[in-house]
Structure 1
Amino acid sequence: MYINYLILAHKNLEQVDRLIDNLLDDRIFVYIHVDKRVPSDEIRRHRFASSNRVRIIKNRVAVCWGGFTMVSATLNLMKAALAGKREGYCILLSGQDFPLRSKENIYSFFQEHEGKQFMNYWKMPYKNWVNGGLDRIKYYWFVDKIGMYESDVFCKFQRESNMERPFFKDFPPYGGSQWWCLTSECVRYILDFVADNPIFVEFFELTLIPDESFFKTIVLNSPFSDQVVNDNLRYIVFEGGKPHPNVMQESDFEALITSGKLWARKFDIARDHAILDRLETHMATVMEG
């Protein structure tokens, strides 16, 4: 069994080096999508660019937060991972994630739970999302084409004009965190579904933050639904209704190591690099013990 990490990165590539250093061994392979706006010369300056266990995918996308470009980048990673023919798990990470356990411990976890899919999800409408999250799919969003602000203005116009569009009958929508851990078999099912159902893709291309619903909706309406564990194995903290998670600080150390999770996000070495130092020391100490 291999673990294939699929990493979406767009900044702080020296932090990505550090992340990958704490993931790799001979049972691990990394596929990384670096935002198209990052120059190739900058990418080549980092350690991961010369590793024989890391593949930087060539079909890079300029990702717009809230748009379908995030899904496109993820699908490109999934295709690359399957083409590598390393069967096992595909684990989607951000370049600002970091492990909370050693690579050996993480590998053992997936050996023990082999065949399970890990993603957190809820059926829409969801009480903690604005209007249950249904505005995301009931109205047309053109985030990748005209930006978030203009798309929001257009959404309000559609709402006031009762211009709702129906979702797919007998195919309930699901939402949840973007991040997941899926078997190669499940990833293959998703890619086959996408290829066979272009109308589904076309619908989600014009939704809001589709990375939080596109993959969930496919998997929870698939033969893999009874394998799904409602947990993405990440420690992430959202506060005050903010759209982005808190950046972890050294003061979060105890909460992180006692969370029971395998990874956490998000980290920013420009804000606090000491938390990564402490996590690395902790993981090394646990292994020695």
Structure 2
Amino acid sequence: MSFRAAVLVIAHHQPEVFAALVDSLRHPSIDVYVHIDAKADLASFEAVVPESDGVTYLRDRRSVNWGGLSVVHVILRLIEHARSSRNEYQRYALLSGSDLMIAPIEEVLAAWQSSTEFIRVDWRLTGPGAQRAHLVDRRHFPDDRSPLRARLSGRIPRKVDPTVELYQGSTWWALTAGAVDQVTGFIAEHPRWLDFHRHALCSDEIVFHSILKAAPQARRIVQDVEQCADVDKFIADPVHALHHIDWSDRTALSPRVLGIDDEPTLRASRALFARKVDTTSTALIDAFAVNSDYLP
């Protein structure tokens, strides 16, 4: 059976940056499935990346809110859509429309063909040694934008669902088909557990991580804070699974936008992707146009 990967892309702005990412992913072994936030203009994305063999847009779009369960629902829809195709995928990779590929496509495919679960687990949220418990033991309303909910968010205590211990890490991952099956199977068996995360904060950084930590695939997680000797060094590492992400400002809500001055650091990184980039990062994006052999 020949190797095939489904790349799941979530985007909401800057179609030109999104187009550069998709162009870098063009390869016979890769199919790209895209969700564009319902608040964004889909036509502006289709104008730069038309739907074609290898690129599919979800037509049933939803509004996505930072930190909300809406992000998880979109990821699950992308997985379901990929599964409904006639292709059998051995790897599913989740990317943002603000990501940049910084390695040759052959290197990316080689990593994806391993048995490693490329997901990073940074924090235990429940159980012994828990930190950041406020993300789950307080009631948050990230998908409800009303002023009243905003004022109440994070102030109301609640009981944590005990089905599995909860963990948090970077949203962006590249998982084997078996790991994805584990996640979707668990959610199908425990729908109330998923509903609990409706009032968690950043459930997209919790749901997949927590399920896999309790699964047989846990031993194949590439970065697990509970398996490291130096926690401070682990947390400071800018490589998150396969992404180089600059969280040097630990108080920021978003990682630093990367520019051409970051090129030497990214070329030395063991990561395969970087985030985030935007329209100010054009020179950097051009510097990493590594997949020109497969451009249409």
Name the structure 1 match of 2:172.
Answer: 179
Instruction: Pick the aligned partner of 1:218 from 211, 215, 237.
Output: 211
1:254 matched to 2:264? yes
Alignment of structure 1 residues 119-134 onto 2, 5 Å: 119-125=119-125, 132-134=131-133
Query: Which residue of structure 2 lines up, in the alignment, with residue 140 of structure 1?
Result: 139
Question: CA offset at residue 39 of structure 1?
Answer: 2.8
Offset of residue 99 of structure 1: 0.6
Within-5 A mapping of 1:1-289 = 1-47=3-49, 49-84=50-85, 85-111=87-113, 113=114, 115-125=115-125, 132-146=131-145, 150-151=148-149, 153-155=151-153, 157-158=155-156, 163-168=157-162, 171-230=164-223, 231-240=240-249, 241-269=251-279, 271-280=280-289, 283=290
* Maintained 8 Å contact 1:79/1:191: no
Superposition deviation, residue 150 in structure 1: 4.8
Residue correspondences, number: 269
Report Cα offsets for 1:39-74 as digits up to 9, x if no partner: 343233122x23211111122111111111111111
Q: Provide the secondary structure at the position in 2 that maps to 1:120.
A: strand
Q: Measure the CA separation in 1 of the matches of 2:125 and 2:181.
A: 28
Deviation at 1:284, TM superposition (A): 6.7
CA drift of 1:216 comes to: 0.4
CA contact (8 A) 2:138 2:154 kept: no
How far does the alpha carbon of each residue in 1:59-113 deviate from its partner, in whole angstroms, 9 at most, with x for none? 21111111111111111111112222332110100001011111112112223x2
Query: Could you tell me the TM-score, scaled by structure 2's length?
Result: 0.85
Partner of 2:226: none
* TM-score, normalization by structure 1: 0.87
What do residues 89-141 of structure 1 show as CA deviations (whole Å, max 9, x unaligned)?
Answer: 10100001011111112112223x2x221101034249xxxx93211100111
**3-state SS of the aligned residue for 1:29?**
strand
**Matched letter for residue 184 of structure 1:** A
SS at match of 2:100: strand
**Other structure's SS at 1:92 match:** strand
After superposition, give the CA deviation of every residue in 1:155-189 in whole Å (9 maximum; x if it has no partner): 4542xxxx3313315x2111000010101121122
Q: In structure 1, list runs of 5 or more residues that go unmatched.
A: none
Once the two structures are superposed, what CA deviation does each residue of 1:243-262 show, in whole Å capped at 9, x if it has no partner?
10000011000001101110
Of the structure 1 ranges 102-111 and 23-32, higher mean CA displacement relative to structure 2 is found in 102-111
Q: Greater CA deviation, 237-246 or 224-233?
A: 224-233
Q: Which amino acid aligns with 2:263?
A: F
Cα distance between partner residues in 1 of 2:148 and 2:254: 20
Per the alignment, do residues 156 and 203 of structure 1 end up closer, same or farther by CA in structure 2, a change over 3 Å counting?
Answer: closer
